[in-house]
A and B are shown apart, each in its own frame.
Chain A
Amino acid sequence: MSIEPPPTPEAREATRRDTVLRIALPIAVLALGVLAWDMAVRLTDTPAYKIPSPGAVFTTLRDDWPILASSLLVTLTTTFEALGLAVIGGVSFAILFSQSRLVEYSLYPYAVILQVTPVIAIAPVLLIYLEPSVAVLACAWIVAFFPVLANTTLGLNSVDRNLVDLFALYGASRGQILLYLRLPAALPAMLTGVRIAGGLSLIGAVVAEIAAGSAGAGSGLAFRIAESGYRLMIPRMFAALLLLSLAGIAIFFLLSLLSHAVLHRWHESALSPER
């Protein structure tokens, strides 16, 4: 009787090689892409206002850093505020739904409607009634809310029925069942929802900033992209776009890391492939 044996050195070596490939290959593709882009711009002598070379983009990134950095901060702040509110709202409503079927039946359709109505169409309406910065936050929240709600609801409802019986056998209260059974069981699904919501709240913030346009105080990265477009500052447009992508990647990794940190000891999704 023992815990499963540790992987053999060969198996561990194979996993390590796999990890190196997973990281090295995308980087190699990126390097090749940037090289090809640079060559194409040079060889065809394309002016920077049509397609800037990678070098021009990086130079702009460096020269315009103060403006771009403050814009990045604005967009990231909106994104994380929206994500935080979406997690609070989504989890709260999911718990409410799990406690009362009547409430779930009454409200769930509206959550779906909120989700299926394109946020780009909602943004102009919100902008009439709300401060631009609040409207942007609201849009980002709207798109981030549903994945948290839907996934947490699913998680709260997919509890091992034998465990529910076991809790009943010991006379557990509703509160105990929620706290010790449903919420922990819902964690993997909830974290999946949060990971999706992270990417979506960035998208929501960007969409709303674009919709707000010059009406807004307009200092987010998306506003910079729109503005640079109008003013034909194409390298800055590319630089802002690059920052947005990096922000998206960073958010994804951060939330994946969080998910892994919470689940790695017990959940199948966090198991290493070797065994």
Chain B
Amino acid sequence: MPDFLSDAAPIVALRGVGKAFATILALDGFDFAVRRGEFVSLLGPSGCGKSTALRLIAGLVAPTNGTIEWSDGKPANGALGFVFQEPTLMPWASVSSNVRLPLKLLGHDRAAAAERVNTALAGVGLAEFARAYPRELSGGMKMRVSIARALATAPQLLLMDEPFAALDEITRFRLANDLLRLWRTLGKTVVFVTHSVFESVFLSNRIVVMTPRPGRVFAEIPITAPYPREESFRTSPEYARFCRRVSQALAAAMAGGGA
């Protein structure tokens, strides 16, 4: 990916952020900036506070200390999309109603929302399942609906919390391919939380390796392989090299963190 990203202006910067839950320190002195247009992954072992970092950016929790600075001011409702580890769909609502939810909460009327819903569903390849109910769909399809819902408001920043962790490998690969395609065509910024080295290398411009609790930035590794990254990238020596580097960083982070 082009080099301009390394000096692109950050959309949001977390500076010296700490977050404590009761007696547990999830994050401490966490410095992390998201640059406009990049696909950045937060990589770390379970419980390293990477999900907490995502929730801090989303404004779902407030930092115990440190600051979160937005370059264009705090994002308005709907300027952020969030994809959870589970599809988190409303089981009582059809696929299209689920995707329409953010628009409904923002006060768009049904007619105005319809087109955006259709576009979002088409984007994830589920146009013909608009009237289905979540329980009629496979796990991968539910996750696609969840992504469509996050995209419905056309957010600039997409936050994804281990969205593919619960899926089988074949589905995971396919969704990863489609996610990259969406990212490239829609020009979003994506922050992707994962504990999979392979997934993060395949997807990201940049990987931030975190230490175990309390979470800190251990290393930042740019993945300079060009996009589009197709299936062939998964088996390339270049991919293997990046995976080895990131794995080593992760191992060092865990050893250094005393886990």
A-side residues, CB < 8 A to B, are 1, 3-4, 160, 162-163, 165-172, 176, 180-181, 184-185, 187, 265-268, 271
Contacts and interface: CB of A to CB of B under 8 A. Distances in A.
Interface in B60-97: 60, 77-78, 80, 82, 84, 86, 88, 90-93
Nearest to B78: A170
Given A3-B137, A180-B104, A169 B82 contact: yes
B102 interface: yes
Contacts of A3: 129, 132, 136-137
A267 B132 CA distance: 14
A169 B58 contact: yes
B92 A166 contact: no
B101 interface: yes
A11 B55 CA distance: 46
B141 interface: yes
A12 to B, nearest CB: 18
Contacts of A268: 135
B80 A163 contact: no
Contact of B91 (A1, A4, A170, A266): A266
A163 B60 contact: no
Residue among A165, A169, A268 with the most chain B CB within 10 A? A169
Contacts of B101: 166, 170, 180
Contacts of A160: 88
Contact of B133 (A163, A166, A266): A266
Interface in B125-168: 125, 129, 132-138, 140-141, 153
B106 A265 contact: no
A65 B93 CA distance: 47
Given A169-B58, A170-B102, A163 B90 contact: yes
A172 B60 contact: no
B85 to A, nearest CB: 8
Interface of chain A, main secondary structure:
helix
Given A176-B105, A181-B90, A169 B136 contact: no
Nearest to B60: A165
Task: For the complex of A and B, list the 5 residue pairs with the smallest distance between their C-beta atoms, beginning with the closest.
Answer: A171-B77, A170-B105, A162-B88, A266-B91, A184-B92
30 contacts: A1-B125, A3-B129, A4-B138, A160-B88, A162-B86, A165-B58, A165-B84, A166-B84, A166-B88, A168-B60, A169-B59, A169-B60, A169-B77, A170-B78, A170-B101, A170-B106, A170-B153, A171-B77, A171-B105, A171-B106, A180-B101, A181-B90, A184-B90, A184-B93, A185-B90, A265-B92, A266-B92, A266-B93, A266-B133, A271-B135
Contacts of A166: 82, 84, 88, 101
Nearest to A170: B105
Nearest to B59: A169
A9 B129 CA distance: 25
Contacts of A163: 88, 90
B136 A187 contact: no
A61 to B, nearest CB: 43
Contacts of A181: 90
Contacts of A180: 101, 104-105
Contacts of A265: 92, 133
Contacts of A4: 136, 138
A88 to B, nearest CB: 22
A169 B92 CA distance: 20
A266 B97 CA distance: 13
B246 to A, nearest CB: 28
B77 A170 contact: yes
A165 B86 CA distance: 13
Contacts of A162: 84, 86, 88
Contacts of A169: 58-60, 77, 80, 82
A265 B59 CA distance: 34
